[in-house]
Amino acid sequence: MSRFLELLEPLMRALPEVTRPTRPVTFREKLFWTGLILTIYLIMCEIPLYPLSLTRSVYEPFFFLRMIFASKRGTLAELGIGPIVTAGLIFQLLVGSKIIDVDLTNPRERARFTGGQKLFAFIFIFLEAGIYAFGGVYGSLPLWASFVIFLQLVAASTIILLLDELVQKGWGIGSGVSLFIAAGVAQQIFWLCFSPFTMDDGLPLGALNALLVSLASLVRVGDYSVLFKALSRPHGLPDVTGLIAMILTFLVIMYLEGVRIELPVVHARYGGLRARIPLKFLYVSNVPVILAAALMANLHMLANVLWSRFPGASWLRYFAEYETKDNSRVLVGGLLYYISPPRGLVEVAQNPFRAIAYTIFFVIMCIFFAIAWVETSGMDPRSQAEQLVQAGLQIPGFRKSTKIIASILERYIPILSIASGFVVGLIAALADMFGALGSGMGILLLIDILLQYQTLILQERALEMYPMLRRLVGTRRV
pLDDT classification of 14: cutoffs 50, 70, 90: confident
Cα-based distances in Å from 459 to 172, 438, 467, 475 = 14, 29, 12, 10
By the 10 Å C-beta count (0-12 exposed, 13-18 middle, 19+ buried), 455 is classed as: exposed
Residues 300 and 151 in one domain: no
pLDDT classification of 476: cutoffs 50, 70, 90: very low
Report the pLDDT value the prediction gives residue 471, as an integer from 0 to 100: 57
What is the rounded distance in angstroms from the CA atom of residue 141 to the CA atom of residue 6?
41
Domain of 66? Answer: 1-195
Report the pLDDT value the prediction gives residue 247, as an integer from 0 to 100: 92
Report the pLDDT value the prediction gives residue 169, as an integer from 0 to 100: 85
Selection from 187, 189, 303 nearest residue 242 by Cα: 189
Give all strands of the β-sheet with 393-394 in edge-to-edge order.
273-280, 260-267, 393-394
Residues 254 and 392 in one domain: yes
The answer to whether 132 and 138 are in contact (CB under 8 A) is yes
Distance of CA 132 to the CA centre of its chain: 20
pLDDT tens, position by position, 87-108: 877 777 776 666 777 666 677 7
pLDDT tens, position by position, 429-465: 898 888 888 888 888 888 888 888 888 888 877 777 7
Report the pLDDT value the prediction gives residue 477, as an integer from 0 to 100: 41
Report the pLDDT value the prediction gives residue 148, as an integer from 0 to 100: 93
Residue 383: inside a domain: yes
* pLDDT, average across residues 394-398: 74
Q: 58-72, 87-101, 157-171, 312-326: lowest mean pLDDT where?
A: 58-72
Residues 142 and 256 in one domain: no
CATH number of the domain encompassing residue 333? 1.10.3370.10
What is the rounded distance in angstroms from the CA atom of residue 219 to the CA atom of residue 148?
54
* Whether residue 273 has pLDDT greater than 80: no
* pLDDT, average across residues 413-429: 91
Which segment, 41-45, 57-61, 268-272, is predicted with the most confidence on average?
A: 41-45
Residues 118 and 7 in one domain: yes
Report the pLDDT value the prediction gives residue 157, as an integer from 0 to 100: 92
**DSSP string across 179-238:** HHHHHHHHHHHHHHHH---B-TTSSBSSHHHHHHHHHHHHHHH--HHHHHHHHS-STT--
Residue 100: inside a domain: yes
Q: Dihedral (C-alpha) 330, 334, 335, 340: value to the nearest 10 degrees?
A: 20
Among the candidates 162, 195, 228, a domain finishes at: 195
What is the rounded distance in angstroms from the CA atom of residue 53 to the CA atom of residue 49?
7
* pLDDT, average across residues 182-186: 86
Say if strands 260-267 and 273-280 run parallel, antiparallel, or are unpaired: antiparallel
Residues 174 and 296 in one domain: no
**319/298: higher pLDDT:** 319
Residues 168 and 302 in one domain: no
* Whether residue 469 has pLDDT greater than 60: no
Residues 191 and 245 in one domain: no
Residues 178 and 244 in one domain: no
First-residue to last-residue Cα distance in the chain: 30
Residues 284 and 349 in one domain: yes
* pLDDT, average across residues 145-154: 92
The total number of structural domains that make up the chain:
2
Give the HSE-up count for residue 2: Cα atoms under 13 Å, Cβ half-sphere.
Answer: 11
Buried b or exposed e, range 378-399, using 16+ CB within 10 angstroms: bbbbbbbbeebbeeebbbeeee
> How many CB atoms sit inside 10 A of residue 371's CB?
17
* pLDDT, average across residues 69-90: 83
* pLDDT, average across residues 409-414: 88
Residue 285: inside a domain: yes
**92/322: higher pLDDT:** 322
Selection from 316, 362, 314 nearest residue 338 by Cα: 362
The answer to whether 289 and 366 are in contact (CB under 8 A) is yes
**DSSP string across 385-453:** HHHHHHTTEE-TTS-S-HHHHHHHHTTTHHHHHHHHHHHHHHHHHHHHHTT-TT-HHHHHHHHHHHHHH
What is residue 380's DSSP assignment? S
Residue 156: inside a domain: yes
Residue 217: inside a domain: no
Using the Cα atoms of residue 344, residue 347, residue 351 and residue 354 in order, give the sign of their dihedral: negative
What is the rounded distance in angstroms from the CA atom of residue 336 to the CA atom of residue 98?
34
Report the pLDDT value the prediction gives residue 475, as an integer from 0 to 100: 44
pLDDT tens, position by position, 233-253: 776 778 888 889 899 999 999
* Whether residue 339 has pLDDT greater than 90: no
Residue 459: inside a domain: no
Report the pLDDT value the prediction gives residue 272, as an integer from 0 to 100: 61
